[in-house]
């Protein structure tokens, strides 16, 4: 990859999956750096990341003082990557659900885009190891968020993405305040509203390598409540803008 590229991997208790993910990224996308963002994992993930970094020059570690949520970890990693001068920043989970083998195709698609979304729901996308209930919950959440915020993409909530540095800057990371599930929605919404060119790449989404998913119906419902508030506020604002414009036209 000619442009300086980094994969941001947020970790919290990913001791078992981290070495495999680092190895797979290294094999699949040669020349790409890795930034592990560890939230003081009590299982020793941060210490393991330091050992990997000492042995592998392309692996770097950003330690944070404690668990503050996935969204905060990604924002910290993105901000650090921009400060270091990376031109392409990859958002990827460390639990093995995102296949590094899909990354080269996503990077290629960036040639005609500012943001590439690894999509489970476009043609060619696959989800492996999920129950029917979890599939329905995820698809429904993505559909609803897209309708509420008028986003045309099919996978609104997926977390496997590639950003050009300029796209991240236009998103204004210091204004992103969501955590977890809602973070993915807010990032995509802000990218779309900034005028970024967004494309979707089919990926294979696996269940995590080790441990249990942190996702739950409660988390999804809370996120969609926030999405509903955003959608209502946006429509009310659009109505106010239309009224003001009409008043200006008729000279009221």
Question: What's the confidence (pLDDT) of residue 1?
Answer: 47
Q: Report, as an integer, the average pLDDT of 211-233.
A: 75
Torsion sign, CA atoms 182, 92, 89, 107:
negative
Q: Report, as an integer, the average pLDDT of 18-35.
A: 97
Q: Report, as an integer, the average pLDDT of 59-75.
A: 95
> pLDDT of 101-147, one tens digit each?
999 999 999 999 999 999 999 999 999 988 898 899 889 889 999 99
Mean pLDDT for the chain overall:
90
- Domains belonging to the chain, first-starting first, are 5-250 (3.90.550.10)
**pLDDT range class, residue 239, cuts 50, 70, 90:** low
Q: Is 75 left (phi over 0), alpha (psi -120 to 50) or beta?
A: alpha
Produce one character per residue of 191-215: b if its CB has 16 or more CB atoms within 10 Å, e if not.
bbebebebbbbbbbbbebeeeeeee
**Dist. CA 211–CA 35, nearest whole Å:** 22
> pLDDT of 7-20, one tens digit each?
999 999 999 999 99
Q: Report, as an integer, the average pLDDT of 149-161.
A: 95
Question: What's the confidence (pLDDT) of residue 246?
Answer: 44
Q: Report, as an integer, the average pLDDT of 42-71.
A: 96
Please answer whether residues 167 and 196 qualify as being in contact, where contact means their C-beta atoms are separated by less than 8 angstroms.
Answer: yes
């Amino acid at each position: 990859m000619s442009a300086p590229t980094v994969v941001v991997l947020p970790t919290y208790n990913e001791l078992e999956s981290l070495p495999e993910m680092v190895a797979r990224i290294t094999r699949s996308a040669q020349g790409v750096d890795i930034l592990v963002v560890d939230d003081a994992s009590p299982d020793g993930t941060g210490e393991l990341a330091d050992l990997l970094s000492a042995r592998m020059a392309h692996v770097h570690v950003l330690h944070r003082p404690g668990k503050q949520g996935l969204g905060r970890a990604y924002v910290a990693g993105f901000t650090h990557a921009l400060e270091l001068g990376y031109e392409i920043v990859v958002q990827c989970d460390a639990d093995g659900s995102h296949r590094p083998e899909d990354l080269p195709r996503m990077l290629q698609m960036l040639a005609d885009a500012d943001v590439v979304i690894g999509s489970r729901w476009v043609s060619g996308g696959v989800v492996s190891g999920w129950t029917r209930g979890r599939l329905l919950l995820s698809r429904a959440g993505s559909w609803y968020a897209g309708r509420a915020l008028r986003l045309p993409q099919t996978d609104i909530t997926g977390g496997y993405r590639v950003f050009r540095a300029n796209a991240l800057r236009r998103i204004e990371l210091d204004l992103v305040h969501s955590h977890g599930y809602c973070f993915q929605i807010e990032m995509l919404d802000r990218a779309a509203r900034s005028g970024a060119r967004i494309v979707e790449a089919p990926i294979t989404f696996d269940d995590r390598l080790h441990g249990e998913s942190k996702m739950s119906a409660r988390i999804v419902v809370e996120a969609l409540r926030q999405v509903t508030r955003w959608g209502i506020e946006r429509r009310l604002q659009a109505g106010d803008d239309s009224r003001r414009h009409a008043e200006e036209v008729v000279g009221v």
